[in-house]
Structure 1
Amino acid sequence: MKQLIAVLLFILALQPLTFSQSRLAEIRENIPLDSIRLSDPCILADSETSMYYMTGTGGLLWKSKDLSHWTGPFQVVETDPDTWMGPRPMVWAAELHQYKDKYYNFATFTNREVKIDTVKGNVIERRASHILVSDKVEGPYRPMEDPIYLPADKPTLDGTFWVDEDGKPYMVYCYEWLQNWNGTIEKIELKPDLSGSVGESELLFKASESPWSREINDAGDTIPNKVTDGPWLFKTQTGKLGMIWTSWVFGDYTQGVAYSESGTLDGPWIHEEEPITPPNHGHGMLFRTLEGQLLMAVHSHRVGENGRYIRIPKLFEVDDSGDILVLGQLFNGNWEVY
């Protein structure tokens, strides 16, 4: 029960942060990375502009030439108030992806005015992963052809992008545990221009399959955790397909890794026994710097003196030269041993 309360507090704590980041903010310059408060950071290294672009929960954009100091935040997301999102949706876990000749913004939108279900006393709001598009990395990012990518009666979140061995583009996302009480990670095929989805979703794995994510139930027993969060796909230099994703180890928000035995999204997905990040670091993604170095962006997650959650983006060096990822040093303006 304590772990469930911690998760619910984490979700509630996201909400005022999300609304505040959706308002127009003063543009600031030369801001150190560790001075930015941001959940679910995602960084795109853009060779055309020789810049780094960072977004995340709230949907705002920061830019930097060196990863150490940033300018922003910029408003870049434009939604249609006449769609299911409503006039002022919450924005979670935005990601930037360059694909062919365009830039895409994968994000989770929530319309708090629409209720789709009530499970175990929890009212579930209309929430879903969606994709916006722009001709420029700095946006604006606007909706495309299809207003709905995923089922309207299911809360989905943290959609990410992958082109599988069949050459088709996919959204990989979480079906939220608040409704099914055993969160899943699933895939759905996308149209060639990512303007909509094709067919039905397919299950990749359930939260309960992880050996490292744990919680304690009301009876005091240790059981598998129910949360799936923040998937991100990658391939090692040896060609091994993997996925980082986040859950909880009792009260600690933490990230693990799974690898596909088939080398495709269809798996089966085999989970590492232990998490890859230190406790209270999660919702990560991987990117290569403009010089080719592989880094992992995550947010640290702790409770401040006022009882509010504090989330700060952090960068780790990563070695992917073998079949598995190996986490390296922490970047804080320079490389330090964590």
Structure 2
Amino acid sequence: MKRLLIVLFFTTSFAPLFAQNWKPEVKENIPLDSIRLSDPCILADKNTATYYMTGTGGLLWKSKDMKLWTGPFVVAQTDPDSWMGPRPMIWAAELHQYNGKYYYFATFTNRKVIIDTVKGNEIERRASHVLVSDKPDGPYVPMKDSIYLPADKPTLDGTFWVDKDGKPYMIYCYEWLQNWNGTIEKIELKPDLSGTIGEGKVLFRAHDSPWSREKDEQGNITPNKVTDGPWLFETQTGKLGMLWTSWVFSDYVQGVAYSESGTLDGPWLQEKEPITPPNFGHGMLFRTFEGKLLLSAHSHKDVNGRYVRIPHLFEVDDSGDKLVIVGLYKP
């Protein structure tokens, strides 16, 4: 229920930000901790020697050193005649460079279309989708396929991975609001990422986690039902892992799972404890231009009834079979 209230608060409070004809005021020399941003994802683009940061809201920030940022810029251009409608909400946007192009993986929501009602909760049309650009700062535009995932399932937080078979995949969450036990799934992408091939396959479920917990309406402690923010990585020893986020009661927390087979098919073994301190989550990994591995995540804090989310960086050691958080990183 806490998670549902957060979703409702977010959609009602920030809906005006998602209109594509809305132009934000661009500012320069903004410190990272002065930016309010959920699900921060940073692309270190060597071609332009620039860091590009995006996330929920669909806006883009730029920096040469990660100390000071310029933005935000509107970079996503969706089709108003598509299932998204003219003013889709944009969650958890990511930038990925692949085969000479830049791809924008994000969750789009059309609040005017209701696909289901479960336990009294209306579920809006929401799905992971991919846009493309020739440049890291866009504009990002639609490709051939208008639908990547089933219209009757709410999906979110799509990310990108090329598996050992050489094929590209989208890894995404099937949202708990409908199935009441969220999953993380994979689906094959076309070679140019312009659509999907076949059907999704479950990699693991929220209830598989030993660390995420909640209390039911009777006060009993049960496994949490939320899967959020997958991000794939390989350690320097070749171990395939996945960052993902859920809850430990009222705390938003980052966990990790590792694949025994070294492929997306797993099986996936969940770490017993979260990897970040409480109320840091939805993480991703990138290397600085100097080669340092960093984890980008947002802090999650209730301030006078409003949820405040601020990007943070952690230094990470991936020299062994498992990630180790070294500590907070200040550019």
Distance, in Å, in 1 between the alignment partners of 2:9 and 2:301 is 12
2:21 corresponds to 1:25? no
1:87-98 alignment to 2 at 5 Å?
A: 87-98=86-97
* Aligned-pair CA distance for 1:18: 5.1
What letter is aligned with 2:104? N
Deviation at 1:13, TM superposition (A): 2.8
Displacement of 1:136: 0.5
Name 2:9's counterpart in structure 1.
Answer: 13
User: Paired residue for 2:233?
Assistant: 234
> Mapping of 1:67-146 within 5 angstroms?
67-146=66-145
CA contact (8 A) 1:19 1:58 kept: no
* Match runs of 1:51-66 below 5 Å: 51-66=50-65
The code of the aligned residue for 1:251 comes to S
1:275 matched to 2:264? The reply is no
Asked if 1 retains the 8 angstrom alpha-carbon contact of 2:18 and 2:89, the reply is no
Give the superposition deviation at 1:308.
Answer: 0.6
Tell me how far apart the structure 2 counterparts of residues 153 and 179 of structure 1 sit (CA, whole Å).
10
1:9 is displaced (CA, Å) by 2.2
Partner of 1:336: none
The reply on whether 1:166 has 2:165 as its aligned counterpart is: yes
Q: Is 1:38 matched up with 2:37?
A: yes
What is the percentage of aligned positions where both structures have the same residue?
A: 73
Aligned-partner residue type, residue 76 of structure 1: V
Residues 235-285 of structure 1: CA deviation (Å, up to 9, x unaligned): 000000000000000000101000000000000000000000111100000
| Superposed displacement of residue 219, structure 1 | 2.0
Under a length normalisation based on structure 1, what TM-score does the superposition of the two structures give? 0.96
RMSD of aligned residue pairs (Cα, Å):
0.9
| Distance in structure 2 (CA, Å) of the matches to 1:155 and 1:178 | 8
Paired residues of 2:41 and 2:284 also in contact (CA < 8 A): yes
Work out the CA distance in 1 between the residues paired with 2:274 and 2:80: 40
State the secondary structure of the residue aligned to 2:9: helix
- Structure 2 portions without partners, runs of 5+: none
Give yes or no for contact 1:18–1:92 (8 Å, CA) kept in 2: no
CA contact (8 A) 1:55 1:95 kept: yes
SS at structure 2 position matched to 1:8: helix
Give the drift of 1:133.
0.1
Please give the residue correspondences for 1:249-328 in structure 2 after superposition, counting only pairs within 5 Å. 249-305=248-304, 307-328=305-326
Number of equivalent positions: 328
Query: For residue 249 of structure 1, what is the amino acid of its counterpart?
Result: V
Give the TM-score, by structure 2 length: 0.98
Check the 8 A contact 1:18/1:57 in 2, yes or no.
no
Helix, strand or coil at the partner of 1:142: coil
